[in-house]
Amino acid sequence: MRAAFRFRLRILLAVLGSMALLLLGRLFMVQIVHGAEYTRKAERQYTAGATTLYNRGAIYFTRKDGTLISAATLDTGYLVAINPEILTDPQAAYDAISALTPLDHDAFFTSAAKKSDPYEEVAHHLSQKDGEALSAKKIPGVLVIRERWRAYPGGTLAAQTIGLIGYNDDNTLSGRYGLERYYDGALERSGATYRNFFAQLFSNLGDVFVDARNARSADLVTTIEPEVEQRLMDDLAQVQERYHSKETGGIIMDPATGEIIALGSMPTFDPNNFEHTDISTFNNPLVEHVYEFGSIFKTLTMASGLDAGVITPQMTYNDTGCITVDASRICNWDRKARGVIPMKQVIMQSLNVGASWIATRLGHDEQRAYFTKLFGQPTGIDLPGETSPLLGNLQSPRQVEYDNMSFGQGIAVTPVQMIRALGALADGGAMVEPHIVRKEVLLSGETNALDWSEKTPVFSPQAVQDTVTMMDETMDEKVSNGAAKIPTMSVAVKTGTAQLTKPGGGYYEDRFFHSFVGFFPSYAPRFIILLYTNDPKGVQYSSETLTTSFMDLTHFLINYYDLRPDRGLTEPS
């Protein structure tokens, strides 16, 4: 028994001795043979412990064929930091780093002079190649550390919609504008990445570990079609440049589903390089700014009157050119009287007196009810900061406020609120939920399709069809005096020109807000387009500023989506 025990004891001691020798050998290799290398690694572990590999979900555009195109993603490269305590040759370090990336001379040497600070970041976003090249130089006191950062491959494309990320007060990154902010909870579940130095020493399992509990939850797939978005932005830029407007914007939407195919405004910005950009440009005016849209409101007034039964398409009225309401003067755009004319001329000739006549027949309660239904609730758009419309005049006891609202003055709404309301004319009388994100793709690979199916009925189908017929005839007979008519496609349109308000009240006589709305095919619309330009210089009417852009976008969409001609097929006789 004792002999067997002694044998087992010798085996155990031999095993322990072998393990001790292996450990001593490993320590010898670490401390003596590779001591300098591991010192650098330890230094990096100490100084960069708070530097994480940033992780965030992607955002995608969707081409018409379903192909996903990156709108927001992550780029991987390196940051450069220095340890002033052991930086022996700051000039050599500066020369080596600045040869690869722009580097502020004074800022670098200010950081290098902080001898009591072991970690100062001096450069970011080095490419893989440049980072590895700098690391290979093994400059004492220079640290090359892997990093990830948010990148936007489309640059300015849909920038105000996609948004950007920024630092919070606690030095963490989160979405600050656009979809990045609205869906921040879905996109951002990162932060707990860390480097394990001892695992690096004693295993070959790698040096980066991620806490799975904090991994991001989803990528976003948007409804934005990049080719259409680019075409829209090109047209907006041309209007902005030609007329030196304060702002020019537009939205293209599927009126049956609420999917927004393109939207944007000028001026815009590049989220990859925005350090010197006016911060106000980051806001999205399509959801955050309200405007008096002018005569495109007449289509809603017309549909309200028809739906309420206070007018019919065959009814006539006596247009006197100007009327006085509550001691205020209301006139047609040219102040000319038309005499006894049918209802459709209110839309076709854009007559303020005619819209006022409809408002009087509606009465305060009816008009308030329709306009409250159209604009009284948030649209539900999945973008942050939606501004409430200015509907205070709906509570006025005076008729003049209701008359003014009938042609789009004295009531201010956002472009998204406007296209949602006008979309009811393109979708049989019901308003849809405008939206940007179609679905979320979870880390598991499962797809979470978002539900945007709720609709709000406003007008009867007959009231809508009668109004659309008037808009359709406006396109064929009035836009460019009929020259813009498309022989193979019906298009329903309305222009709007509104005087801009003065600070303190009243309106400018020579400053305007222009708008243009249209959808096609008129009686089974595939797209609705809303364009506007704020305070264009040297021009009065929206037909002069926005017609060319609207027609360009219309022809482009017809060809790009290969829309089937509808003339003689679906148009009512």
pLDDT digits (tens, 9 = 90+) for 411-451: 999 999 999 999 999 999 999 999 999 999 988 888 999 99
64 is written with which tokens? 């018409």
By CB neighbour count within 10 A (0-12 exposed, 13-18 middle, 19+ buried), where does 169 fall?
exposed
CB 528 within 8 A of CB 517: yes
Query: 437-442 and 328-331: which strand pairing?
Result: unpaired
Q: What is the pLDDT of residue 209?
A: 39
Closest by CA position to 514, among listed 493, 539, 491: 539
Asked if residue 231 and residue 185 are part of one domain, the reply reads no
CB 425 within 8 Å of CB 459 = yes
Angle value at C-alpha 385, between 176 and 449, nearest 5 degrees = 80
Separation CA 15–CA 265 (nearest Å):
74
Residue 487's domain is classified under what CATH number?
3.40.710.10
Domain for residue 278, yes or no? Answer: no
Residue 251 and residue 126 in one domain: no
Print the domain residue range for 80.
47-222
Of residues 245, 254, 250, the one with CA closest to residue 233: 250
In a domain, 163, yes or no: yes
Q: Is residue 42 part of a domain?
A: no
DSSP state of 46: H
User: DSSP string of 410-464?
Assistant: S-BB-HHHHHHHHHHHHTTTEE---BSEEEEEETTS-EEE------EE-S-HHHH
Say yes or no: 197 and 260 in one domain.
no
Half-sphere exposure of 271 (CA within 13 A, CB side): 29
This prediction's pTM: 0.85
pLDDT of 7: 65
Helix (H) or strand (E) holding 305: helix 297-308
Give the Cα separation of 32 and 45 in Å (integer): 19
Residues 418, 544: one domain?
A: yes
Structure tokens at 493: 């349109």
- Residue 54 pLDDT: 81
Q: Is residue 356 part of a domain?
A: yes
Give burial (CB, 10 Å; 0-12/13-18/19+) of 524.
Answer: middle
* Number of folded domains that form the chain: 3
Instruction: Return d(Cα 289, Cα 485) in angstroms, integer.
Output: 33
Verify that 72 and 217 share a domain, yes or no. Answer: yes
- Whether 573 is covered by a domain: the verdict is no
Instruction: Specify if 376 maps to a domain.
Output: yes
Counting beta carbons within 10 angstroms of the beta carbon of residue 548, is it exposed (0 to 12), middle (13 to 18) or buried (19 or more)? middle
What is the pLDDT, as a whole number, of residue 569? 53
Same-domain pairing of 26 and 162? no
- Is 246 in the same domain as 210? no
CB atoms within 10 A of CB 58: 17
Residues 100 and 205 in one domain: yes
Check residue 445 and give its pLDDT.
83
| In a domain? residue 448 | yes
The 10s digit of each residue's pLDDT in 84-141 is 999 989 999 999 999 999 999 999 999 999 988 899 999 989 999 999 999 999 999 9
Q: How far is it, in rounded angstroms, from Cα 239 to Cα 551? A: 13
Q: Give the C-alpha separation, 139 to 132, whole Å.
A: 13
Residues 203 and 324 in one domain: no
81: left (phi over 0), alpha (psi -120 to 50) or beta: beta
Nearest CA to 242 out of 533, 560, 512, 456 is that of 533
Q: What share of the chain is helix, strand, coil (3-state, %, to 5)?
A: 40, 25, 35
Residues in the chain: 573
The model's pLDDT over 185-209, given as tens digits with 9 standing for 90+, comes to 999 865 443 333 333 333 333 333 3
Q: Which residues is 501 bridged to in the sheet?
A: 507
Does one domain contain both 478 and 516?
Answer: yes
**Residues 70, 6 share a domain:** no
Domain membership flag for residue 239: yes
- Exposed/middle/buried for residue 339 (C-beta within 10 Å: 0-12, 13-18, 19+): exposed
DSSP assignment of 157-178, as one string? TTHHHH--EEE-TTS-EEE-SH
Domain match, 165 and 306 both: no
Residues in the chain predicted with pLDDT less than 50, given as ranges, are: 36, 39-51, 191-215, 570-573
pLDDT value, residue 167: 83
